[in-house]
Amino acid sequence: MAIKTLEIKQLEAKAANVYEAIVVMSKRARQINEETKMEFTQRIENLVTLPTAGDDMDEEVSNPDQLKVSLEFEARPKPTEEAIDELMSDKLEYRYKEPEVKK
């Protein structure tokens, strides 16, 4: 996997400062990761498991459909890459939480 460089000046242009941009990207990467986990779990649950040959539990049986789904998810871009791309292409919007007013 090749590492792409990122100009700090470009990153600063997308947020108030570099640290803010990093926090925004990390939170988005976590969201993407959670979405991917849920999608993967749903797709794996929908697959029918193959019956085992006998009662020998030591032997692993691989399901070709599960393997196919796993390889598909491994080929996807990493959540951090997606978050960086979203921020740099202005597809990512963020805002500050408004402070709660105590009465």
Q: What is the pLDDT of residues 8-65, one digit of tens each?
A: 899 889 998 999 999 999 999 999 999 999 999 999 888 765 555 555 555 555 688 8
Residue 14 included in any domain: yes
Residue range(s) defining the domain that contains residue 27: 9-45+68-91
Residue 4 lies in a domain: no
Q: What is the pLDDT of residue 103?
A: 76
Domain count, the chain: 1
Residue 97, domain member (yes or no): no
* Of 35, 32, 12, residue with least CA distance to 22: 12
Q: Is residue 39 part of a domain?
A: yes
Considering the domain boundaries, does residue 15 fall inside one? yes
Q: Say if 24 falls within a structural domain.
A: yes
Instruction: Look at residue 53 and tell me if it is in a domain.
Output: no
CB-based contacts of 15: which residues, under 8 Å, 6+ apart? 21, 24, 87
Asked whether the beta carbons of 19 and 56 are under 8 A apart, the reply is no
